[in-house]
Amino acid sequence: MPVLPEDVALSLLADGVLEIMGQLWVSSNNAMLGVVRADGVEAACIYKPVAGERPLMDFPDGTLARREVASFLTSRATGWRIVPPTVLRDGPFGEGMLQLWIRADASADPVALVNESDPRLRPIATLDAVLNNTDRKAGHLIPVEGGHVYGVDHGVTFSPVPKLRTVLWAWRGLPFAADETAVLAALRASLEPGEGSLASVLAPLLSRVELAAARQRLDRLLATGVFPQPDPRWPAIPWPPV
């Protein structure tokens, strides 16, 4: 199934009829593959019900689906199209995250992209620093035909405690490009409270402390002007890394 335009995909995900096709056996959070249909349009999707989330020591219970949606909204604000269209809605097993399924280019190897420090991954590394992503594995990178690379699995993001764990350290300590700095500055401005701001749409999904921490991360990134370095107080690479 082809990737739909974002507005069409979001409408379909939010309002379409969801049919579950099966469970993803590799998922630790009861992720399911489904098809969503409306008005003759259909698309494959991933459904992660809140009820299936595995409790974690360092994230409040029942919040992972909201973090996935918050990551999409932040990604959309950058214009980089990293996180596939994602919504929060009811499903067969209750409220959960519904995300457009992205078919990977079978000829592309995400591990090779990481090992070769492919420049297409640089925006993803930048976004991960903003999101405080604690689990950027190579397997969470989805190259598609045409060359674009998506990133998925953002349930463990937006912790107020610095916990960046990623396989994308190739640019650590290097300065942001001018366009990257411009995006970071625009994101920081959009996180100020105000009608129609990014902060206003993230508020129902994240706590005030988590939003404040996101502003502080952006302030640090803009002040230093460089990609973050690994924090010695926290493992730098997720396990397993793929």
- Joined together, the tokens standing for residue 208 give 């005030």
**In this predicted model, what pLDDT tens digit does every residue of 107-146 receive, in sequence order?**
999 999 999 999 999 999 999 999 999 999 999 999 999 9
In a domain, 209, yes or no: yes
In a domain, 82, yes or no: yes
In a domain, 167, yes or no: yes
Kindly indicate the confidence band of residue 27, based on its pLDDT and cuts at 50, 70 and 90.
low
Q: Which residue range forms the structural domain that includes residue 40?
A: 6-100
**Region 218-234: what's the mean pLDDT?**
95
Distance CA 127, CA 80 (A): 9
Indicate if the pLDDT at residue 1 is higher than 60: no
In a domain, 60, yes or no: yes
For the chain, percent of residues with pLDDT exceeding 70: 98
**Region 185-198: what's the mean pLDDT?**
96
What is the reported pLDDT for 233? 85
In a domain, 233, yes or no: no
Kindly indicate the confidence band of residue 29, based on its pLDDT and cuts at 50, 70 and 90.
confident
Please report the DSSP string for 134-165 in residue order.
S-B-GGGEEE-TTS-EEE---SS---SS----
In a domain, 242, yes or no: no
Domain count, the chain: 2
Indicate if the pLDDT at residue 168 is higher than 80: yes
- 140, 196: one domain: yes
